[in-house]
Copies of this chain bind each other. A is one copy, B any other.
Amino acid sequence: MSEPDHGHPVDPERVAHARARLPGREETAQLTSVLSLMADPTRARVLFALDMVEELCVGDLALALDANEDAVGYALRLLRTAGLVTNRKQGRVVFYRLAEGFPEPLREHCLRQLVVLADAAPDDD
Interface residues of chain A, those whose CB is within 8 Å of chain B, are: 2-4, 6, 9-11, 14-15, 17-19, 21-23, 25, 27-36, 38-41, 44-45, 48-49, 52-57, 59-60, 62-66, 68-70, 82-83, 93, 103, 105-106, 109-110, 113-119, 121, 124-125
Oligomer copy total? 2
When distances are taken between beta carbons in the complex, the residues of chain B under 8 Å from A60 are 9-11, 14-15
When distances are taken between beta carbons in the complex, the residues of chain B under 8 Å from A28 are 41, 44-45, 118
Q: Is the interface of A mostly helix, strand, loop or mixed?
A: helix
Given contacts A4-B69, A10-B59, contact A106 B115 (CB under 8 A): no
When distances are taken between beta carbons in the complex, the residues of chain B under 8 Å from A21 are 52
